[in-house]
Structures are given as C-alpha cells and as structure tokens.
Amino acid sequence: MSQAAHTITLPALSEMKKRGEKIAVLTAYDASFARVLDGNGVDIILVGDSLGMVIQGHGSTLPVTLDHMTYHCANVARVTRRAMVMADMPFMSFSSPERALDGAGRLMQEGGAHIVKIEGGGAFLPVVETLASHGIPVCAHLGLLPQSVHKLGGYRVQGKDELTARVMQEDALAMQDAGADLLLLECVPATLGTAISQALRIPVIGIGAGPGCDAQVLVLHDILGLTPGKPPKFSYNFLDGKGGVAQAIAAYVHAVKSGDYPGRDHSY
C-alpha cells in the first residue's frame, strides 16, 4: 500500500510533548469513521484489537487475528491523510521476535500502519529491540493488558501498590531504552501516569491513566455512547448534546487539547 507523507510523524509527536501540547488519539476500524477523525484534528488513529468487542461482538480481544487487524488497518490507512495510523498486534502475534517481525511487516506493508503496538512488559523487550532495529516504529503498552485479561483476573486497575508501580516504571524506561517510540498506559493511578510521563522522553498515551499523560486515547464507540452496559470510569459520552458524530469528535479533541479531559471523575 503506497502512502503519502502525513503531517503527524514521530518527530512531530516528540515536539508536541516538549511543548506541552496534548495529543488526541481515538480508535477507528473503517474508512468512514477514519475520514471523520482525520478531518477533525485527531492526531493518532488507533486501529485497536478492541474491534473484537465493538465490531465483532466478542467478549474480549483474544479472538482477533492478524488477518482481521491487517484488513481493518488497510481500510483506515487508505483514507487517512493527516493522522498517524497505529495498529495493534493481536494476541500471540508477537510471541517471538521473529513472529513479531513478520506480523508487523504485514501490518505496515498490507495494512498501511505507521506504527505497531504491543502489550506487555519486560518479557517483550527483545521483541521491541528487534522491531526497532528493523526500522519499525513501536508503541509499548503497560498497565491493564486486555490480551492478558484471564491472567489478570478481569479488567482491573494496575499499579496500585508500591511494588507493581515500581516495576511498571522500570518496564517503561526499559521499553524506551529498547527503542519504543511511544508508550500507552491503561488503567493506572493518575499519580503513576504522571510520574511515568515525566520520566520518559517519548510521548505517553493514557487511557484511564490521569491527566498528566502526554496524550489521551478512548474507544470511538465509548465516546459516541454506543457501548452497551456500564461504561468504564475513564470514558465520557461526547455525543450527548452535540449535533452529530463530527461535532462529538471535535469536542473530544478540544477537551483533550485544552486539558478539560480527563478530569478527576475519569481518573483512578
């Protein structure tokens, strides 16, 4: 898949962090929504394996395959002109550096991704090092790891005690040293999100990680009020009271950039 140069690059994101300019991230899984996100100021479009739940109707992200991710990423990348496109590497697709290299190559060549995201801590440092050494941008993912939901015993806040918080901080620095270009923190106390963001040179994306992170990400269907059941604490329905989807997305971007979101009510 051929791609033109995009406005939002890794150096651009680094400059935004240095300036203290917040970075707005949202998920998308198809061309129609990708166009709206791209046209309303979203800096990074995450083609997340959350599609397993919000698109495919599964109870977790585990059934999502590399074929699924490549297909949806290509749909998004095909129409995106400004934003960076980030693709999740699905469950077991990065179980070894060699397998990760093959999968990331597909997501970039066939899917048009600019950067791939992997879940996990220190055990995956060799994966990050291998991808980085081959010129593949990587976003590391720490905190709540949806692909490890059965191991964790559910969707719970991580890093609440001193030991696990310290390990997460060490893993974050190690991922940066291994060559990660971005870090995503999910469901951690706001104080820990701030501490890690301040300690790292690379931009840190938070989801339920407090206002001190350099960037914020939410699942598109959550901000549009489409997720059944009780929404997560860190979510907010930006469509409520707005004229339409485009206005809701613009409101989300403005809230992130201005620092209005997330507030105390959306943090742990």
Mind telling me the catalytic residues? 186
Could you give the CA distance from residue 144 to residue 208 in angstroms, rounded to a whole number? 10
Query: What is the residue type of 161?
Result: D
Q: Which residues, other chains included, contact 116 with Cβ-Cβ below 8 Å and sequence gap of 6+?
A: 86, 87, 88, 89, 103, 104, 107, 108, 131, 136, 137, 138, 139
Give the β-pairing of 84-88 and 215-218: unpaired
Could you give the CA distance from residue 70 to residue 47 in angstroms, rounded to a whole number? 9
8 A C-beta contact, residue 200 and residue 172: yes
- Specify the DSSP class assigned to residue 134: T
